[in-house]
């Protein structure tokens, strides 16, 4: 359990930091002009906090943990990329199917970002845990 919590922290920090930078850079420039009136003036922080607490559990479970058992950084990267693609695609494609403002461009860009941030966070988490544990 202690290794899992270590891996969780090692994924949580880069995931939240990278996503915060992305949202700060792209929020006003990309998301707001596309989504317009369906965006809240102020985000509801409880669902956001729940997402940021839960998502790293998935990354550790489905990307970092299997890669640690095999000792392969590329496995963490590839599984993280796939996890990000599938999870963000679920969100983006559902929104594209149901929300009038959700464009194909928005869906593709957001899915690409989800893939990149998940792969990067999984790889960083993998490297941090291996370094700390001396694996």
Q: Answer positive or negative: Cα dihedral of 47, 58, 63, 115.
A: negative
Taking a C-beta distance cutoff of 8 angstroms, is the pair 135, 68 a contact?
Answer: yes
Cβ-based neighbours of 63, under 8 Å, separated by 6 or more: 75, 76, 79, 80, 82, 83, 118, 122, 126
Q: What is the pTM of this model?
A: 0.94
Cα 55 from Cα 30, distance rounded (Å)? 23
- List the pLDDT tens digit at each of the 135 positions of the chain: 889 999 999 999 999 999 999 999 999 899 999 998 888 988 899 999 999 999 999 999 999 999 999 999 999 999 999 999 999 999 999 999 999 999 999 999 999 999 999 999 999 999 999 999 887
Q: Radius of gyration (Cα) for the chain, nearest Å? A: 16
Cα 104 from Cα 5, distance rounded (Å)? 37
Cα 135 from Cα 131, distance rounded (Å)? 7
CA angle (31 as vertex; 28, 34 as ends), nearest 5: 115
Taking a C-beta distance cutoff of 8 angstroms, is the pair 59, 15 a contact?
Answer: yes
Place of tokens 């596309």: 34
């Amino acid at each position: 359990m202690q290794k899992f919590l270590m891996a969780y922290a090692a994924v949580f920090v880069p995931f939240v930091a990278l996503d915060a930078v992305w949202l700060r850079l792209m929020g006003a420039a990309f998301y707001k002009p596309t989504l317009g009136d369906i965006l809240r003036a102020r985000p509801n922080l409880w669902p956001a906090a729940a997402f940021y607490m839960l998502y790293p559990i998935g990354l550790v479970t489905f990307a970092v943990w299997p890669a640690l058992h095999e000792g392969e950084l590329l496995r963490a990267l590839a599984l993280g990329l796939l996890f990000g693609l599938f999870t963000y695609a679920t969100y983006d494609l559902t929104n594209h199917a149901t929300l009038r403002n959700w464009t194909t461009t928005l869906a593709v860009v957001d899915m690409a970002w989800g893939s990149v941030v998940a792969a990067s966070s999984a790889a960083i988490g993998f490297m941090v845990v291996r370094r700390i544990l001396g694996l």
